């Protein structure tokens, strides 16, 4: 009962809210980043349909990133200082990518036809830059911001792995939102990204224990070993199921086009839970505990009241947007 009397439960609640916001962002904004990357292999008319498939949602999707960063800043100011200082340059590059995406998304609709490919290129480049920098930051974060050639290779590898995962969930999104030749392309894109994502997961979770002693301890200590073992089995089942689902869609069109997206979301969840397991109870791996880095309990209680008001509105708005604009995307016309 002491944990409830002195407010020690509040940092844990905000740590959970932060993890939920990160997961929601990687899934929701992840697919529209993936769609942006995939536009490089699409024809101009297909690019218009791809933009239409994410247009009603992408502002709401990015709200989850704002929420995650806001929670980190307000609820864990010490952690925010450490993270921002260590990741200053990739954070700056990510913001540049987000600006390119936002500007090109709007201006491609207003540009004359001959200039539209340039804005499409800016949107594609911005999407790829955001994906790579987010993956790089994730790799640096889980290693506790260590320096050296080994951590650098790991961070670059996680950047490519996250880009592949976003491409996979973006292709899975297009499977649900498009028809005809573009859907056929989406199947091929998804199968290619599935292989890249699988390789990326193996890369991250094979090298992580070699570069971080705490992660290695989680894989060698019993009974703690049981949790990553179960997560590995679930991840393997999701990967195999996803591969079989994409193979079936490549051979025979099916109404179950939502299955790859659902399995990919499951894979994202397992990956986030696995990383959280390796580093709990740290908010910054090997540096700051969740309880130590949190704001005062009185401040957290006030923030919690605001969060309990904001979160239902955010969930409600997101649900409403997806309900209103469900179904296949239509071809856009600007001329």
From the list 201, 312, 222, the residue with the least C-alpha distance to 267 is 201
Task: List per-residue pLDDT tens for the chain, 335 residues long.
Answer: 444 455 578 888 888 888 888 888 999 889 999 999 999 988 888 888 898 888 888 777 888 888 888 888 888 888 888 888 889 999 999 999 999 998 888 887 776 677 788 888 999 999 999 999 999 999 999 888 888 888 899 999 999 999 999 999 999 999 988 888 888 899 999 999 999 999 999 999 888 888 877 777 766 666 667 888 888 899 999 999 999 999 988 887 777 888 999 999 999 999 888 888 888 888 888 888 888 888 888 888 888 888 888 888 888 888 887 887 776 666 555 45
> Are 218 and 278 contacting, i.e. CB atoms less than 8 angstroms apart?
yes
Task: Return d(Cα 259, Cα 232) in angstroms, integer.
Answer: 20
From the list 265, 102, 105, 236, the residue with the least C-alpha distance to 176 is 265
> Are 39 and 120 contacting, i.e. CB atoms less than 8 angstroms apart?
yes
Exposed (0-12), middle (13-18) or buried (19+): which is 174, by Cβ within 10 Å? buried
Task: Return d(Cα 284, Cα 280) in angstroms, integer.
Answer: 9
pTM of the model: 0.91
End-to-end CA distance of the chain: 66
Task: Return d(Cα 292, Cα 79) in angstroms, integer.
Answer: 9
pLDDT at 30: 92
The H-or-E segment that residue 42 falls in is: none
pLDDT at 134: 94
> Are 183 and 174 contacting, i.e. CB atoms less than 8 angstroms apart?
yes
> Are 204 and 158 contacting, i.e. CB atoms less than 8 angstroms apart?
yes
């Amino acid at each position: 009962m002491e944990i409830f009397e002195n407010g020690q439960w509040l940092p844990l609640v905000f740590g959970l809210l932060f993890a939920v916001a990160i997961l929601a962002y990687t899934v929701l904004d992840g697919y529209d980043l993936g769609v942006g990357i995939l536009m490089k292999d699409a024809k101009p008319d297909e690019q218009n349909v791809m933009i239409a498939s994410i247009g009603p949602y992408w502002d709401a999707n990015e709200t989850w990133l704002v929420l995650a960063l806001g929670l980190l800043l307000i609820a864990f100011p010490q952690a925010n200082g450490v993270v921002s200082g260590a990741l200053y340059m990739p954070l700056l590059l990510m913001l540049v990518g987000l600006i390119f995406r936002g500007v090109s998304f709007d201006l491609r609709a207003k540009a004359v036809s001959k200039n539209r490919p340039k804005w499409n290129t800016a949107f594609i480049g911005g999407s790829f830059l955001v994906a790579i920098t987010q993956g790089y930051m994730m790799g640096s974060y889980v290693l506790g911001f260590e320096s050296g050639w080994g951590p650098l290779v790991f961070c670059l590898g996680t950047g490519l792995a996250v880009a592949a995962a976003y491409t996979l969930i973006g292709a899975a999104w297009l499977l649900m939102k498009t028809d005809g030749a573009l859907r056929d392309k989406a199947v091929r894109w998804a199968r290619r990204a599935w292989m890249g994502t699988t390789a990326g997961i193996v890369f991250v979770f094979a090298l992580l224990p070699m570069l971080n002693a705490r992660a290695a301890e989680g894989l060698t200590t019993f009974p703690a070993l049981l949790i990553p073992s179960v997560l590995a089995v679930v991840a393997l089942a999701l990967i195999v199921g996803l591969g079989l689902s994409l193979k079936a869609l490549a051979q025979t069109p099916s109404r179950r086009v939502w299955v790859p997206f659902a399995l990919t979301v499951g894979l994202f969840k397992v990956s986030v839970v696995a990383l959280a397991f390796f580093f709990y109870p740290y908010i910054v791996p090997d540096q700051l505990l969740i309880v130590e880095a949190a704001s005062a309990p009185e401040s957290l209680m006030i923030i919690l009241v605001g969060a309990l008001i904001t979160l239902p509105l955010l969930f409600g708005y997101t649900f409403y947007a997806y309900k209103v604009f469900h179904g296949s995307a239509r071809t856009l016309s600007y001329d």
